[in-house]
């Protein structure tokens, strides 16, 4: 996905892509016309050649005309596929994986520039302050802003929600575009149809039902022999403070962490088709929560892509995107140095939650997300999930890990006294924290459908990069002398820089690895598991997706350390922690450090904040010490840690999650009703 994230495509590139799509269409018309002409040339009585051929073949061609036509269409399809394969290959260059200046290739002495990170941080601070400053301060202003954004009145109960928000000092009053986007498809169906679908999907395996009836909440699992899951229980708890103010309605809650709803493009484009097929529903008796060898996530995902996208061109999608994977002794996949393009001195403005896999189908091999064992649902149903990738139609809700208090994920949780502390008992002063980048986790990140691709999953890729002991070089760019605008780029062996700045390891093997456990432990570092509190000894806390979103992110934000986050998922808070759009925004640098999916920029991020590694200083012949070069960067790094902590204490609180869910319930209640106009808020 390039970085799996920069989507700021120029008009020229968009026109080029459109031109290529049009060319493919014209090629199809040309080759199909050729195929029909080829068949017609063999029809009797049309020319002497055809007559001669008929006599020669004794009627064979005439009797097999249909077979020949199919053969010609296949040739046409392959021709179009070859073209789109080429287009898909080019897309790797169209989508770079981050923005930022490009440094000269190879060791370079003394080039002048302004480092981009200070500018990104300053822009972030300004934009976030502006976002907070423009939030509505009165109910009438909030109603006016709602109408301006969404072109309709707020839902009934909006005044009660406003009161709840103001009493609890909720900062984000107007920023609910993601919520409205999640619910938008359900405006295309009636309240009756929505209710029917909620009941249908609740009968499926891996779906729980949270019901609001007469001001009370209950959880039901309509699948036989299954108890309600923790996600449904967490969601029910979020409703507690305002459940008496809600009308009767049902919430089907996903028991899995992965998104589930992948609606084919045609069904989203033509809602009438969806209405008809949705009324019939699926058969819960024949539905299995896992794939059981009948399909996979990618095949379902690409059907949700536009018809003219590379992902929908089957042969292009297969030929141009399958990474080289020769089976060799002890190494099922050869390492892919160029699996994701992008420079080591490019810095991601945001994470990859909006990356377009439809336009870049090759990138699916880099994310375990597309190899999940859990079956997706190819029909629009109201399913509430903690996170989703671009293209999914789930409705986002806060994670129960964020809302509850558990030792694995909650900062400041005292398991002995069973209460929360403002400062975690294992927290350390900033000056005593290690400068190393720290991560521990299991080998999760994807399933085995299809099997054999674990080597390419995001966690595995990062760990091999960060523990590489080979002579592969990393290009480190740093100011010399420190705090100047004179920069030096030096190639440093990965072995040396990884040893100096990385402390990352797997702690548990989960699932199947293509070449077996021996190869897994040979190719990846393993170490002992640690408690959450041990993380606070480090300034940099890496946060990587697992099977879905990372449940540790809120805990990391609450700490006095800095999260470095790489993700392809969108969560409920995406509007709140990314307060400007992907095309022009870098606001997330205020609260944490985003990483591209290639991770390659992590070395230069560390070099800016903590100083160039000793190997780079030695290679450049610099007389500066690492400590002298990192003083200003360290102050800026601490500002990010403080900003993230402040965000968690003011915008990422449990009451903020309740405010989000409360507003979502009001929107959903209007959709649930037969007379939606009667569910408008009249001010």
Map 533-559 to HEC letters. HHHHHEEEEEEECCCCCCCCHHHHHHC
Q: Distance between CA atoms of 145 and 161, rounded to whole angstroms?
A: 15
DSSP string, 562-594: EEEEE-SEE-TTHHHH--S-TTT--GGGGTSEE
623 or 69, which is more confident?
Answer: 623
Q: Which residues contact 34 (CB under 8 A, 6 or more apart)?
A: 72, 76
Confidence class for position 274, pLDDT limits 50, 70, 90: low
SS3 for 641? helix
For the ranges 68-77, 266-275, 282-291, 556-565, which has the lowest average pLDDT? 68-77
Q: What is the pLDDT of residue 351?
A: 56
36 or 630, which is more confident?
Answer: 630
Residue 280 lies in a domain: yes
Residues 172-197: what's their mean pLDDT? 96
Confidence class for position 65, pLDDT limits 50, 70, 90: low
415-452 confidence digits (pLDDT tens): 888 888 999 999 999 999 999 999 999 999 888 889 88
Please check whether residues 452 and 544 belong to one and the same domain.
yes
Q: Distance between CA atoms of 231 and 384, rounded to whole angstroms?
A: 10
Please check whether residues 245 and 388 belong to one and the same domain.
yes
Confidence class for position 140, pLDDT limits 50, 70, 90: very high
Residues 204-216: what's their mean pLDDT? 94
Domain total of the chain: 3
Residue 127 lies in a domain: no
Q: What is the pLDDT of residue 579?
A: 33
SS3 content of the chain, % helix, strand, coil (to 5): 45, 15, 40
Residues 636-657: what's their mean pLDDT? 95
For the ranges 274-283, 309-318, 502-511, which has the lowest average pLDDT? 274-283
Q: Is the pLDDT of residue 350 over 60?
A: no
Residue 18 lies in a domain: yes
Please check whether residues 78 and 114 belong to one and the same domain.
no
Specify whether the CB–CB gap between 489 and 115 falls below 8 A: no
Confidence class for position 284, pLDDT limits 50, 70, 90: low
Q: Which residues contact 311 (CB under 8 A, 6 or more apart)?
A: 301, 302, 305, 317, 357, 358, 359, 361
Residues 335-363: what's their mean pLDDT? 61
331 or 674, which is more confident?
Answer: 674
Q: Where are the alpha helices (DSSP H) in 41-64?
A: 48-57, 60-63
Residue 411 lies in a domain: no
DSSP string, 376-416: PB-S----EES-EETT--PEE---HHHHS--TTT-TTEETT
Local structure of residue 103 (DSSP, 8 states): P
Q: What is the pLDDT of residue 97?
A: 38
Q: Distance between CA atoms of 606 and 503, rounded to whole angstroms?
A: 13
Q: Where are the beta strands (DSSP E) in 428-501?
A: 434-442, 473-479, 486-493
Please check whether residues 262 and 383 belong to one and the same domain.
yes
Please check whether residues 447 and 512 belong to one and the same domain.
yes
Structural domain including 622 reads 108-121+421-571+589-651
Please check whether residues 672 and 632 belong to one and the same domain.
no
Please check whether residues 74 and 204 belong to one and the same domain.
no
312-324 confidence digits (pLDDT tens): 985 544 444 444 3
Residue 239 lies in a domain: yes
Q: Across the chain, what does the average pLDDT equal?
A: 79
Residue 555 lies in a domain: yes
Q: What is the pLDDT of residue 483?
A: 72
538 or 290, which is more confident?
Answer: 538
Q: Where are the alpha helices (DSSP H) in 185-229?
A: 191-202
Q: What is the pLDDT of residue 581?
A: 32
Confidence class for position 511, pLDDT limits 50, 70, 90: confident
541 or 118, which is more confident?
Answer: 541
Specify whether the CB–CB gap between 304 and 264 falls below 8 A: yes
Q: What is the pLDDT of residue 178?
A: 96
pTM here is: 0.80
Please check whether residues 462 and 593 belong to one and the same domain.
yes
Residue 270 lies in a domain: yes
Residues 371-395: what's their mean pLDDT? 94
Helix 602-610 crosses helix 626-650 at what angle (to 10 degrees)? 100
Confidence class for position 224, pLDDT limits 50, 70, 90: low
Please check whether residues 481 and 616 belong to one and the same domain.
yes
Residue 416 lies in a domain: no
Edge to edge, what strands does the sheet with 502-508 contain? 502-508, 434-442, 538-544, 562-566, 593-594
**Sign of the alpha-carbon dihedral angle for 325, 326, 331, 332:** positive
Closest CA to 475 of 465, 490, 485, 453: 490
Please check whether residues 600 and 672 belong to one and the same domain.
no
Please check whether residues 19 and 117 belong to one and the same domain.
no
Please check whether residues 513 and 543 belong to one and the same domain.
yes
Q: Is the pLDDT of residue 271 over 60?
A: yes
Q: What is the pLDDT of residue 280?
A: 59
């Amino acid at each position: 996905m390039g970085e799996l994230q920069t989507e700021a495509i120029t008009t020229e590139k968009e026109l080029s892509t459109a031109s290529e799509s049009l060319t493919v269409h014209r090629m199809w018309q040309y080759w199909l016309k050729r195929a029909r002409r080829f068949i017609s040339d063999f029809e009797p009585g049309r020319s002497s050649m055809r007559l001669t051929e008929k006599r020669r073949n004794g009627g064979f061609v005439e009797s097999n005309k249909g077979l020949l036509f199919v053969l010609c269409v296949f040739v046409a399809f392959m021709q179009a596929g070859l073209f789109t394969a080429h287009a898909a290959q080019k897309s790797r260059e169209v989508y770079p994986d981050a923005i930022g200046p490009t440094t000269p290739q190879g060791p370079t002495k003394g080039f002048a520039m302004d480092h981009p990170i200070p500018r990104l941080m300053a822009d972030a601070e300004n934009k976030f302050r502006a976002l907070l400053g423009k939030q509505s301060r009165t109910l009438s202003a909030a109603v006016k802003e709602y109408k301006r954004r969404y072109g309709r009145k707020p839902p009934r109960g909006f005044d009660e929600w406003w009161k709840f928000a103001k009493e609890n000092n909720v900062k984000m009053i107007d920023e609910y575009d993601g919520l409205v986007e999640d619910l938008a498809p359900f405006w295309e169906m009636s309240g009756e149809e929505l209710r029917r679908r909620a009941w249908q999907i609740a009968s499926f395996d891996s779906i729980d039902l949270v019901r609001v009836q007469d001001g009370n909440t209950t959880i039901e699992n309509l699948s036989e022999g299954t108890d309600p899951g923790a996600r449904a229980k967490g969601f029910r708890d979020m409703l507690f403070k305002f459940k008496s103010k809600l009308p009767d309605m049902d919430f089907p809650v996903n028991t899995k962490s992965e998104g589930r709803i992948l609606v084919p493009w045609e069904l989203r484009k033509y809602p009438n088709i969806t209405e008809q097929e949705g009324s019939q529903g699926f058969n819960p008796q024949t539905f299995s929560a896992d794939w059981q060898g009948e399909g996979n996530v990618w095949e379902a995902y690409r059907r949700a892509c536009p018809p003219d996208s590379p992902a929908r061109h089957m042969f292009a999608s297969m030929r141009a995107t399958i990474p080289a994977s020769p089976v060799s002794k002890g190494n099922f996949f050869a390492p892919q140095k160029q699996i994701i393009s992008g420079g080591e001195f490019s810095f991601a403005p945001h994470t990859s939650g909006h990356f377009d896999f439809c336009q870049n189908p090759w990138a699916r091999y880099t994310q375990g997300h597309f190899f999940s064992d859990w079956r997706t649902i190819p029909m629009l149903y109201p399913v509430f999930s903690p996170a989703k990738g671009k293209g999914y139609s789930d409705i986002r809700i806060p994670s129960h890990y964020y809302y509850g208090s558990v030792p694995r994920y909650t900062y400041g949780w005292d398991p002995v006294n069973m209460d929360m502390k403002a400062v975690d008992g294992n927290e350390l002063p900033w000056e005593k924290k290690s400068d190393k980048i720290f991560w521990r986790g299991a080998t999760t990140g994807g399933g085995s459908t299809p099997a054999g691709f674990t080597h390419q999953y995001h966690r595995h890729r990062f760990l091999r990069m960060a523990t590489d002991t080979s002579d592969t070089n990393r290009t480190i760019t740093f100011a010399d002398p420190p705090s100047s605008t004179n920069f030096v780029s030096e190639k440093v062996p990965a072995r040396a820089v990884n040893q100096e700045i990385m402390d990352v390891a797997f702690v548990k093997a989960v699932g199947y690895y293509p070449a077996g456990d021996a190869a897994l432990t040979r190719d990846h570092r393993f170490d002992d598991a640690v408690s959450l509190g041990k993380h606070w000894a480090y300034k940099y806390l890496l946060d990587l997706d697992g099977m879905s979103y990372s449940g540790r992110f809120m805990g990391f934000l609450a700490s006095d350390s800095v999260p470095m986050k790489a993700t392809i998922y969108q969560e409920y808070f995406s509007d709140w922690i990314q307060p400007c759009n992907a095309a022009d925004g870098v606001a997330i640098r205020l609260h944490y450090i985003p990483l591209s999916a290639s991770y390659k920029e992590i070395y230069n991020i560390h070099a800016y904040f903590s100083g160039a590694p000793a190997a780079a200083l030695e290679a450049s012949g610099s007389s500066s010490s690492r400590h002298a070069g990192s003083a200003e960067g360290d102050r800026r790094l601490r500002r990010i840690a403080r900003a993230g902590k402040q965000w968690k204490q003011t915008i990422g609180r449990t009451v903020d999650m309740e405010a989000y869910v409360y507003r979502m319930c009001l929107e959903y209640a209007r959709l649930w009703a037969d007379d939606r106009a009667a569910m408008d808020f009249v001010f």
